[in-house]
Amino acid sequence: MTVQQVREAKQSALLPLMEAFDWATRKGAKTHDYTHHQADVDYVFEPADSPYRGYLTAQGRGVKPGDYLVLKTGKIPFRYRVEQIHYYSNPADMWMGLLVQVL
């Protein structure tokens, strides 16, 4: 098993634990899984002022500040917290948000 495969296995094993932690510690915060979406097709991620912050433009209802998103960069999923979000008026489920990577 390569180092990369070990990292991926650890990340996928930790996701349910992270979701359970969210539920227990942050009432109302949800984790939205965007790993099945394709970057630059289903969403666009633009880095902000640091490598751990960025703006995401995507579609999907119900995402709000304080929620978490899981995005894949290459084969590794990364977890982000939604700091700010703005929904467009047309289409109503399109939004842009400021995300901060959760380490």
Phi, psi angle pair for 45, to nearest 5°: -110, 125
pLDDT value, residue 56: 96
Please give the torsion angle defined by the CA atoms of residues 22, 55, 83 and 92, in that order, rounded to the nearest 10 degrees: -90
pLDDT value, residue 96: 97
Q: Which CATH number, 2.60.40, 3.40.50, 3.30.530, 2.30.130, labels domain 3-101?
A: 2.30.130
Strand, helix or coil for residue 15 = helix
pLDDT in tens for each of the 103 residues of the chain? 665 555 555 555 556 555 555 554 456 789 999 999 998 999 999 999 888 999 999 999 999 999 999 998 778 899 999 999 999 999 999 999 999 999 7
- Rg of the chain over Cα atoms, rounded to whole angstroms, equals 14
